[in-house]
Amino acid sequence: MVNLANGLQFSNLKESVNIFVIPFQALNPLYRESLQQMLSLGQRVVDNPVYLSDLGAALTSGDSVELQAVLAETNIPKRLTLALSLLKKECELSKLQQKIGKEVEEKVKSVQVRIARVLDY
């Protein structure tokens, strides 16, 4: 096993990317479709660290420079680390979008209730 500078072992890093890829199915139907297409090709994408890092990067909305950095990296542990970083950022972004969506929905509901009360009087 290859030891990374931050103390993670290669297999742990690969598993971390796997852990972040799977929840993307629940975040967005487009992610679900992409994952199902890639996984239905008969290849075990999740077993191959190169394909796994490419898949992880492809699922994110990272800018072209970040995505190209993943594709250009030849050191597999570093490539997985870059993909994992993009996946974490995407998860945080999705959580933030969900939180903002809920807050907006609550505010709209409260305004609707206030308007309904005013109209009832």
- Domains of the chain by start residue, with CATH: 10-95 (1.20.58)
Q: What residues have CB less than 8 Å from 59, skipping those under 6 apart?
A: 21, 24, 31, 34, 35, 87, 90
What is the distance between the alpha carbons of residues 116 and 100, in angstroms, rounded to a whole number? 24
One pLDDT digit (tens) per residue for the chain, 121 residues: 444 444 456 677 777 776 776 676 676 677 777 677 766 665 566 678 888 888 888 888 889 999 999 999 999 889 999 998 998 898 888 889 889 999 999 999 999 999 888 887 6
State the pLDDT at residue 43: 59
Q: What residues have CB less than 8 Å from 43, skipping those under 6 apart?
A: 51
State the pLDDT at residue 56: 83
State the pLDDT at residue 5: 47
